[in-house]
Chain A
């Protein structure tokens, strides 16, 4: 269980997040919705440790947790960025195995085998040897998901997973997220698309632009 208590965040004295509270149960899908500029990405960045929070508390399983300084590989918060941020110089498979090999110190063969399983699950097995520039947007996104999953994250976060995709691919993402839920994955999805949120969410958090 992930709990946010009174999370505050400012940029240059401008309040972006003002005492945000949220509870994400294990295995559920939490959607964070709100108009553009409301602070959804900022909240995601605080949860994933890319920004330091200015106030409040983050707890995992009731224990205080600072994602910004956390080094423990048992509580990785995975992120699928809006622009995916794949490593352009590495093949699909290497994108996925890099962190397990470098960080989790996995053997290369083992990391590859696990990566191939993830790719198969996402119907990308035939793309393992391609470079990111050779993939479509939807394929890049799935590689980004596989790359994050390879670190066995406690929670997987997505920033606007539907924004860069053709409308037809929305259902594909939806099904991937729902499949991951079946496998027990806890997921946080930031989106400005209320319909999409309603289709997948167990809980919805609405963030409003702070007046600060």
Chain B
């Protein structure tokens, strides 16, 4: 027990970084995903082609590779001009990657909205932006919430990948303690903390789904 209390502060410090990356990725990539999703459903062919390529690239290569590329690869290209701090590099790679996944989810949601909803908004003289904001997005959010929820849970676990570029996240903290003290306890604790985080998220997501069940 006293051992647990001894290593807990370093684990919680790691968990703090994990949560920071998680939160900023969610805050950045969900709105961006919606915007890219709107672009994917637009009729402007060049834009659509570029966004499709981007989504294909992000979903077709491992996140781990993207992370390594952003941190170790970019500095090589721009002769140093594109060098990012570890934390910024991680956040950049995560937002880039998750935006693509969210965009695909939003594209599906947007396409499932009856075109008549746009038309009834149009004859009521709502602008495109008003229509997206007041009519389309609330309906899309309800549709995509379960899929977004899955990705968000994945993100908590994916965040452990930042370990490879030397960031001190939760997993790294546990790993360090385990090799130093030759005991499994830190790793088990790490597992428990991840479980706690995903449990809280699952609870929040369920509440959100309940919130959106006031209409059909």
A contact set with B: CB distance below 8 Å = 48-50, 71, 73, 76-79, 81, 83, 85-89, 98-99, 102-103, 131-133, 147-148, 151
Bound together, the chains give a CA A24 to CA B119 distance in angstroms of 24
User: Can you give 12 A-B contacts (C-beta < 8 A)?
Assistant: A50-B119, A73-B125, A81-B116, A85-B114, A88-B139, A88-B215, A89-B215, A98-B135, A102-B134, A103-B124, A131-B216, A132-B215
* Contact assessment for B125 and A103 in the assembled complex, using a CB-CB cutoff below 8 Å: yes
B122 partner residues in chain A, CB cutoff 8 A: 49-50
B142 interface residue, CB < 8 Å from A?
A: yes
Q: How far is the CB of A119 from chain B (nearest CB, A)?
A: 17
Q: How far is the CB of A89 from chain B (nearest CB, A)?
A: 5
* Contact assessment for B119 and A85 in the assembled complex, using a CB-CB cutoff below 8 Å: yes
A89 partner residues in chain B, CB cutoff 8 A: 138-139, 142, 215
Report whether over half of chain A's contact residues are helix, strand or loop; otherwise say mixed.
loop
Residues 127-151 of B at the A interface (beta carbon under 8 Å): 130, 134-135, 138-139, 142
Q: Which residue from chain A places its CB closest to the CB of B138 in the assembled complex? A: A89
Out of B123, B130, B139, which one reaches A48, CB within 8 Å?
Answer: B123
Q: How far is the CB of B105 from chain A (nearest CB, A)?
A: 19
* Contact assessment for B126 and A102 in the assembled complex, using a CB-CB cutoff below 8 Å: yes
Out of A48, A85, A131, which one reaches B116, CB within 8 Å?
Answer: A85
A147 partner residues in chain B, CB cutoff 8 A: 124
Q: How far is the CB of B145 from chain A (nearest CB, A)?
A: 13
The listed residue with most A CB atoms (<10 A of its CB), out of B117, B125, B142, B216, is B125
* Contact assessment for B130 and A102 in the assembled complex, using a CB-CB cutoff below 8 Å: yes
Bound together, the chains give a CA A151 to CA B215 distance in angstroms of 25
Q: Which residue from chain B places its CB closest to the CB of A144 in the assembled complex? A: B120
B134 partner residues in chain A, CB cutoff 8 A: 98, 102
* Contact assessment for B216 and A50 in the assembled complex, using a CB-CB cutoff below 8 Å: no
| Given A103-B125, A133-B216: A81 touches B119 (CB 8 Å cut-off) | yes
B216 partner residues in chain A, CB cutoff 8 A: 88, 131, 133
Q: Which residue from chain B places its CB closest to the CB of A72 in the assembled complex? A: B125
B214 interface residue, CB < 8 Å from A?
A: yes
A98 partner residues in chain B, CB cutoff 8 A: 124, 126, 134-135
